[in-house]
Copies of this chain bind each other. A is one copy, B any other.
Amino acid sequence: MKFKVFSELSYEVFSPTTFIFNIQAAKSACQTIISELLIVTPAIKFEEFTLKNSGTRFVKMEVGKGVFFTLIYEAEVEVSYTVYDEKVLLQSIPIINLDHEVLPYISPSRHCESDKLLEFATKEFGYLPNEYAKAKAIKESIFNTVEYKTSVTNSSTSACDTLLDRVGVCKDFAHLGIALCRALDIPARYFTGYAYNLNPPDFHACFEAYIGGRWLFFDPTKLAVANGLVKIANGKDASEVAVASYFGDVNCTFMKIECQPITADFTPFNSENDRIEAISYE
C-alpha cells in the first residue's frame, strides 16, 4: 500500500528557540520511504538525527528571535501490515517468556500512570478471558466513555486525568489505553502517525499492545481506518515522541496535515465487526 503524506507547520518565534520535530515517516521492515522532502522557509539550517535505541527520526534547528518560518514535509511511503486472527490473538505469552526489549513497555511512564490504575483495570477488565479480549474491551470502553474534544487538555494531561475528566484528544485516548493495558501486565506503547481521512485533519495518536508476540494496533478514537496509517514513531508515551518540542517562546500559527493512498485499490479494513482480527504494523 502506497501513501502520500504531507505536513506543513508555521511558527512565530518570540525568543531564540531550539526546535525538535518528530514528523518524518518511520523507516522499518514494513515501511519504506520511496521519496521524501523537508523544506524550511525561509532557509534555516536543520539537522536530522535518529536515536540509537528507538530509531525515532528527529529534526532539530535553532531559530532566532522574530523569525516566522514554515516547515513542510512530504513523502511517498510504502506500508505493509499484517492481519492476525485468533491463532495469534488468543495466545498468551507469560511475562517470563516476553522478549526483553518489550519489558520496558509494562512499566508506567509520564502520561500513563499504570501503577495507579491496578485496581481500576483489574475490576473493570480483569475478568476477561485473554489479553486480546482485555485490550479490545479497553479500546471500546474508552471510545464509549471519553468525549473527543480539542483545546480542553494540554501537554501535562495524563491517563488518570482522562479517566476522571472523560474528555480529550487522540493522545489522551491513547495514553489511557496504554495505562490500562500496562496495569493488566500487557505491554503497550504509543504510536504516532499520519492517518488517512482523519477528521479533523491532524497528526494521529493510537496505541499498540503486545499480544501473542506481536504489536497489535488499537485506535480508541475510532477516527482512523486501521490500515490507513503511516507510522512516525513509537514510544512509551507522548513525552518520548512529541511531534514538536521547543525550548523558547513561540506560537504555532498554522498546521496542515494530509495522508492519501496513492494506490487506486485501497480497501479500508473494518475492525468493528465481530471477527477476531487485528492489524500489526510490523
Contact = CB atoms under 8 A, between A and B. Distances in A.
A228 B164 CA distance: 34
Contact of A109 (B18, B53, B115, B239): B239
A62 interface: yes
Interface stretch (A79-87, A92-100, A190-198, A211-219): A92-100
Contact of A164 (B60, B104, B107, B164): B164
B247 A62 contact: no
A52 to B, nearest CB: 6
A113 interface: yes
Interface string A35-74: 0000000000000011111100010111000000000000
A19 to B, nearest CB: 9
Interface stretch (A2-10, A24-32, A116-124, A130-138): A116-124
Contacts of A165: 116, 119-120
B119 A166 contact: yes
B166 A18 contact: no
Interface of A: 18, 20, 49-54, 58, 60-62, 94-96, 100-101, 103-104, 107-110, 113, 115-117, 119-120, 123-124, 145, 147, 155-156, 160, 163-167, 185, 239-240, 245, 247
10 contacts: A53-B53, A58-B100, A58-B103, A107-B110, A108-B110, A110-B113, A115-B155, A116-B156, A119-B164, A163-B164
Given A20-B103, A160-B164, A163-B163, 7 more contacts: A18-B95, A51-B103, A60-B96, A109-B110, A119-B167, A120-B166, A185-B247
